[in-house]
Structure 1
Amino acid sequence: MVPALARLALPQLQVAEALAALGPVPRAALADLLDATGAESARGLDAALGSLSDRALVWPDGEGLLHMAAPLRQAWKRPLGLDAPLAVLLADTASEELRRMLMALGVPSPGTTKKQRLTALLTHHSDAERVAAVLASAPATTRKLLQQQVRHRPEQPRSASEFVILGGSGTDAAAGERWALDRGLLVRSRYGYGPARMPAEVALVLRGPDWHAPFAPAPPTVRTVSVTSAEVDREAAASATAFAAHAASVLAVCSESPPAVLKSGGVGARELSRIGKAARCEDLVVRLVLETAYAAGLLARDGNQVVATSGYDAWAEREPAERLIVLLTAWRRLPLTPSQTRDADGKALPALAGTPPCRACVQAREGLLTGAAGLPAGQGAKNPVELGALVGWHRPLADELAQDTTPFATAIHEAELLGVIARGALSPFGAALRTEGIGGDVDAEALAAACARLLPTATRAARFGADLTAVVTGTPTAPLAALLDTVADREAGGTASVWRFGPGTVRRALDAGRTADAIEADLAAVAVGALPQPLSYLIHDTARRHGRMRVTAAPCVIHGEDPALLAEVAAHRKFAALGLRLLAPTVLVSRTPLDKTIATLRAEGYAPVAESADGTVRVDTARRRRAVAPVPPPRESGGTARHRTTGAPVVPAPATVDVGALAARLRAAPTNPPEPDPGSGVPFGTDTEEIVAGYARSLSLTDVRQLAHCIDEGRAVTIEYLAASGSRTVRTLSELDLDPPYLHAWCHLRDDERIFALSRIHGVMPV
């Protein structure tokens, strides 16, 4: 039922809520409540009823009454702010009490059974004119009490005692409430506890004949401008091409230097900034690429890093159109908003934080595509921000993010970055993503055709300038990007990428083992025209100075004043394992650490000495070995005993321990059974305990049992929770609903319903 509700448009939801408030009624009564008597609103009502009927949520019976599915009625606690109908409130009322109500109303009892009396009372209260007449004859105290209750929040009905606080006397309040209870204008529980409740029929009469339930059969008006399909295609192609190029750059950076994951999970702001700086794109684009690539299987978690997969290697070799298809499909199915940077509490969110699935985020994306598709042909929104109103009409249950300054601003901005929305209209990419095939999937053929038509093929050549730059229009092929990244630094990306050469970048390629001639030949092979002379001079000039000074790694160096002695040592067969190499007549380099080299030389009769870092001879002294004391020495405080003559502290002799007696006591002590472990196979007390223990790995067995007990018994509980941002909070939860691996609950700290990951719960305490 929840997925069906989420896909309802605003008029369908309003019709369903009105029907839930009235119960089975004819269409005329529903139209009167919604004020759908005009031609346009009547067509809107029929369209909404038809859509609900197609989903098997609403249907008419043989008598012309509209019925709705029971689970749909339970979606609202108080539909239209009304309490339950009179039939529900009087279901447990005794037959004699119903007879007294009929007598007070002046209605003759039609029979002696409860069903007959209840039917007569319902018939009377279903007539608004009769109820209005009864209210007109009510005492002033009763009318005042009823008017105050109908204006009050129905979730908390007011009692007569509250009426006293509002200005009435205790006797008047009780008498006024009693008068209404005797006539069924208010209903109290059969056992007399709780506040009196007002039936929906009475509340509607008190609201007056001019009150109508909200009904918006037509979508909100959006200011539009004329746009041609060519203009939409051109802008969509530019945005999609830029995003595909940015995605290639971001994933290339992640492939070379995988981003680290925070201890609390996700890629933090520092890593996002590093990737964005290296890929030359903003933080929001980096988040969008990481989330879509992770969902598409191009990235995966490996230990404390996010590493490129083998699927990325195949993806990088494809054409830009094929790359974009993968990312757009992943974005359409994402159960979250990838560019969300703040949570509901305003705290920064890392990327790839593993947030719980958000069905409302998917509906916001679907509402945007549906709303943009409903614009007149050849028209686009004058300001794309106004598309947010259409999202709210097509998917009223979609959530707006706390960071949105205008309705659904984040979702709209994402769609524009991807080229799904262009010039305020739905692009061919968006039309293909909105079209759903079997199983709710996107139209892959239409998406592939749109990408192939609008995106250019990968560029295999670059234009080299005399200012030591290389410019590639469009998306470069993977070999071209790899070549330029090796010998130059990328300065810009998007629809055109720019690389800049310098002595440092050329030296980087030479350090990788390439030669000057090979670099020049590779660049000439991908150049449009001949290479500029300044670039050739730079390559060969850097190569001429490259390697004039060499640095070798040496664990130790042997040097002396006798060249013959060092030559003898270098030629000695027993020193071959040391890895000696003669750098100069008086200098030897050894691949073996200093201490082992000296020991080997001394073992063969030589007498070397060790030298310190400043060139002086190192004197080796024997070091005394000392054990670490298991306990600190006794403190010399005022109460410490001291020797009467020397004044030294006196350490008492250790007490004598009977080891045999101690062993006997340990053997006789009862052994406690081991605590169940989720992976040990030991059974738990309940299924809930086993489920909680399987996900909440940070909890002890006692905490697992306490949390499972609160879930099963519906009790409140206090938890210590590690948020996605890394902060620890203590929260009191109630209305617990286990949905592994998540826990849905009412958070008293935020006064709102929240979703908590069981793996992030680190402690459980009683309320």
Structure 2
Amino acid sequence: MGLTGGGALTDVGGLVAAGRFEDAGRVIREALPDPVSRVVLQADLTAVAPGYLQPEVARGLLRMSTPEGQGPATTYRFSAESIRSALDSGEDASSILAFLHEHSATEIPQALSYLVEDTASRYGSLRVGRAGSYVSTDDDAVVATVLADPRAAVLGVVQVAPTVLVSPASPHELAALLRDLGFSPASDAVAAAGRTPPAGPAAPARVPPDQLRSRLNPWSVAEEELDAQLAVLRSARPGPADVATGTDSETLLGLETLRAAIRSRSRIRLGTADSEGNHVRQVLVPLSVSGGRLRVFDPEHQVEKVVSVHRVMDVEILEGSPADG
């Protein structure tokens, strides 16, 4: 920090030690070179800063180029990718070129001007967004009817083409809205197979009430499961090789809980580790478990998915919650 040198306090260090911080700041500012506001643009699609840049100039260059190296003489490289990044942030070709013209000590090289204008001309020719479901029809009146209904706005329905609507809602929710409006929508997958779609999503088979287990305590176990779980615990006594790990018994107990939920068609609260190691908990209906893979039904999104057993962190059978689809 420049407070000491050669085993002694510097001028700045002496001022800091005396509590004269404003004077120390003034000495530092006088010793440092003034930040620059201009760069040297070169024909190889780079810009060289001849010193430390003013903060707003550095931020502007970072929006449209990639820095190479560190220090006062930093080189910034322009590329189609870096220009697209600037366009994503709200810039356009004219604003990028205006910034470069204002902060360049030289003329803008022709290669750089062409890169900016060519990238901007192709930017946005394809649009990408998120959609959970869509409606396609040959009847413009259908589109108008759906958009006129207030419930369409609630589901986020928007028109992306004269006869195409999209929504972040699930296909099940969007189909329910269309049925309420008097239409008979068909799923693309079902229509392709020439079948009439069901009125709702396929539901797991119901279990007779007398076969359902009612548990006031989600951590309690049925009598027939108790012996199996006790056997697991007794067989998992720590030895010299497994004192540090000790996770096999937890995994087996989790599998027993999953199998119990599968037999009773019960909903579970499943805790898993995602790809970044975060603990994620979801309410799901387990369908089967084998080969280190757990197949579940997600009632919120009306889809089936597969979870790797090694990602399972905890399992809780929800109280009085037989799966009802």
Q: Give the match for residue 14 of structure 2.
A: 435
Q: Give the match for residue 535 of structure 1.
A: 112
1:721-751 residue CA offsets vs partner (Å, 9 max, x unmatched): xxxxxxxxxxxxxxxxxxxxxxxxxxxxxxx
Mapped contact 1:434–1:442 kept (Cα < 8 A): no
TM-score, normalised with respect to structure 1: 0.25
CA distance in 2, matches of 1:470, 1:636: 72
Tell me how large the CA RMSD over aligned residues is: 3.4
Q: Give the match for residue 563 of structure 1.
A: 139
Q: Does 1:631 align with 2:212?
A: no
Provide closer, same or farther for how the CA distance between residues 582 and 627 of structure 1 changes in structure 2, counting only shifts above 3 A: farther
Mapped contact 1:487–1:508 kept (Cα < 8 A): yes
Within-5 A mapping of 1:474-489: 474-489=51-66
Q: Which has the higher helix share?
A: 1
Q: Which amino acid aligns with 2:202?
A: T
Shift of 1:526: 0.6
Within-5 A mapping of 1:494-513: 494-513=71-90
Provide closer, same or farther for how the CA distance between residues 447 and 566 of structure 1 changes in structure 2, counting only shifts above 3 A: same
Provide closer, same or farther for how the CA distance between residues 493 and 613 of structure 1 changes in structure 2, counting only shifts above 3 A: farther
Shift of 1:574: 5.4
Q: Which has the higher strand share?
A: 2
CA distance in 2, matches of 1:585, 1:627: 53
Shift of 1:372: 3.8
Q: Give the match for residue 460 of structure 1.
A: 37
Shift of 1:587: 2.6
TM-score, normalised with respect to structure 2: 0.56
Q: Give the match for residue 514 of structure 1.
A: 91
Within-5 A mapping of 1:698-717: none
1:519-559 residue CA offsets vs partner (Å, 9 max, x unmatched): 10111101102111111000001011101111232221012
Mapped contact 1:579–1:592 kept (Cα < 8 A): yes
Mapped contact 1:489–1:500 kept (Cα < 8 A): yes
Mapped contact 2:15–2:24 kept (Cα < 8 A): no
What SS does the aligned partner of 2:160 have? strand
Unaligned runs of 5+ in 1: 1-327, 333-367, 374-429, 639-767
Q: Give the match for residue 622 of structure 1.
A: 203
Q: Does 1:601 align with 2:182?
A: no
Shift of 1:631: 0.9
Q: Give the match for residue 316 of structure 2.
A: none
Within-5 A mapping of 1:699-738: none
Provide closer, same or farther for how the CA distance between residues 628 and 504 of structure 1 changes in structure 2, counting only shifts above 3 A: farther
Mapped contact 1:556–1:589 kept (Cα < 8 A): yes
Within-5 A mapping of 1:282-293: none
What SS does the aligned partner of 1:609 have? coil
Within-5 A mapping of 1:241-640: 328=1, 369=5, 372-373=7-8, 430-435=9-14, 440-441=17-18, 444=21, 447-448=24-25, 450-560=27-137, 562-564=138-140, 566-567=142-143, 569-570=145-146, 572-573=148-149, 576-577=152-153, 578-611=155-188, 619=198, 620-623=201-204, 624=206, 630-635=220-225
1:293-351 residue CA offsets vs partner (Å, 9 max, x unmatched): xxxxxxxxxxxxxxxxxxxxxxxxxxxxxxxxxxx4xx85xxxxxxxxxxxxxxxxxxx
Task: Flag the structure with larger Rg.
Answer: 1
Mapped contact 2:15–2:21 kept (Cα < 8 A): no
CA distance in 2, matches of 1:613, 1:516: 46
Mapped contact 1:461–1:526 kept (Cα < 8 A): yes
1:449-470 residue CA offsets vs partner (Å, 9 max, x unmatched): 5423431111111111111111
Q: Which amino acid aligns with 1:546?
A: Y
Q: Which amino acid aligns with 2:139?
A: P
CA distance in 1, matches of 2:74, 2:7: 32
Provide closer, same or farther for how the CA distance between residues 601 and 570 of structure 1 changes in structure 2, counting only shifts above 3 A: closer
Mapped contact 1:432–1:443 kept (Cα < 8 A): no
CA distance in 1, matches of 2:86, 2:190: 34
What SS does the aligned partner of 1:605 have? coil
CA distance in 1, matches of 2:81, 2:71: 25
Shift of 1:431: 1.6
Provide closer, same or farther for how the CA distance between residues 614 and 566 of structure 1 changes in structure 2, counting only shifts above 3 A: closer
Provide closer, same or farther for how the CA distance between residues 628 and 474 of structure 1 changes in structure 2, counting only shifts above 3 A: farther
